[in-house]
């Protein structure tokens, strides 16, 4: 008996309007291919049983196999069984068993998520998908020796534990999110974006999924922001070249303090300034203490 997921060579024995048929070890298989083949032609493909119980031989091999890993998209969720993944087999989705998934259903992959899986079959000739392990990712992705703080990165979660979430970034680097650096725990297969905050001992980028901590601004800068937010068109005629006495009379602070306040607001992106004065940016207009 042929085992699902195996790669075999077979000979074309018959045709009809819908498909070609091949035979191997006395078993007839429907050929899944966009091409048409001649009788007695030898072809190679993956054996599997489709949703209708027909045994098939698909010529275009999926990335995921009995000895290889590939990407599959989650297409269905069943709490009593697991998640169904489309690995590229026509009319056949393969299940990742609930035994491999977290106890909390909120951490299960969701429809549309991408998973890295390989395949196996059981004694009943059923095909199963299995999540790639951390060992697989350590071998096929890459660790880092250095990092750029606050670099924005994106990737997918492949493992979640109490201590945090493990992910592979889009550029193949490995990363880790400590449980204190996330507002909500992401689920397996979820695409996330965050910022780099460090490096773990084993060379994974340490990622935070939290927004940057609110940047406090000094009292002088807050006062200038309040003036700008009430000014017509969010604009004042003062800038860092303005007369010190005029600054002192209007704002009650020295020109040095005024320039420092403008500098901090410029750095935060809250204002623009030129010889005509100072104007709030859209970001500055949305500022609330």
Domains: count for the chain: 4
State whether residue 137 is helix, strand or coil.
helix
Per-residue pLDDT at 18: 87
Question: What separation, in Å, do the N-terminal and C-terminal C-alpha atoms of the chain show?
Answer: 72
Residue 69, number of CB atoms within 10 A of its CB: 20
CATH classification of the domain holding 17: 2.40.50.330
Tell me: the pLDDT tens digits for 248-267? 999 999 999 999 999 989 98
**Could you list the residue range(s) of the whole structural domain that residue 162 is in?**
136-208
In eight-state DSSP terms, residue 121 is: E
Is residue 21 one of the residues assigned to a domain? yes
CATH classification of the domain holding 194: 2.40.50.140
Domain termination site, one of 15, 34, 58: 58
Is residue 184 one of the residues assigned to a domain? yes
Per-residue pLDDT at 177: 97
Contact between residue 119 and residue 95 where contact means Cβ atoms under 8 Å apart: no
Is residue 168 one of the residues assigned to a domain? yes
Per-residue pLDDT at 215: 46
Per-residue pLDDT at 219: 83
Per-residue pLDDT at 227: 94
Low-confidence ranges of the chain (pLDDT < 70): 212-217, 289
Per-residue pLDDT at 255: 93
Is residue 63 one of the residues assigned to a domain? no
Is residue 2 one of the residues assigned to a domain? no
Domain termination site, one of 208, 243, 266: 208
């Amino acid at each position: 008996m042929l085992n699902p997921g195996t790669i075999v060579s077979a000979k074309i024995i018959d045709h009809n309007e819908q498909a070609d048929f091949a035979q191997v070890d006395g078993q007839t298989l429907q050929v899944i291919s966009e091409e048409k083949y001649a009788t007695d032609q030898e072809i190679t493909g993956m054996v599997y049983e489709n949703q209708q119980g027909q045994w098939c031989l698909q010529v275009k091999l999926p990335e995921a196999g009995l000895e290889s890993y590939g990407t599959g998209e989650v297409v269905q969720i069943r709490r009593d069984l697991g998640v169904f993944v489309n690995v590229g087999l026509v009319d056949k989705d393969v299940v990742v068993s609930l035994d491999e998934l977290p106890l909390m259903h909120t951490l299960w992959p969701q429809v549309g998520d991408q998973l890295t899986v390989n395949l196996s079959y059981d004694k009943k000739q059923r095909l199963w998908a299995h999540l790639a392990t951390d060992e697989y990712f350590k071998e096929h992705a890459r660790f880092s020796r250095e990092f750029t703080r606050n670099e924005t990165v994106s990737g997918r979660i492949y493992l979640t534990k109490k201590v945090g979430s493990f992910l592979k970034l889009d550029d193949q680097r490995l990363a880790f999110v400590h449980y204190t650096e996330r507002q909500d725990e992401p689920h397996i297969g979820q695409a996330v974006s965050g910022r780099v905050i460090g490096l773990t001992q084993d060379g994974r980028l340490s990622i935070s999924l939290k927004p940057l901590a609110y940047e406090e601004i000094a009292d002088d800068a807050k006062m200038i922001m309040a003036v700008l937010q009430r000014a017509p068109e969010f604009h004042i005629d003062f800038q860092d070249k303005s007369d010190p006495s005029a600054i002192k009379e209007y704002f009650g602070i020295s020109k040095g303090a005024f320039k420092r306040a403008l500098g901090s607001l410029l750095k935060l992106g809250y204002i623009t300034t030129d010889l005509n004065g100072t104007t709030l940016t859209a970001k500055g207009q949305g500022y609330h203490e």
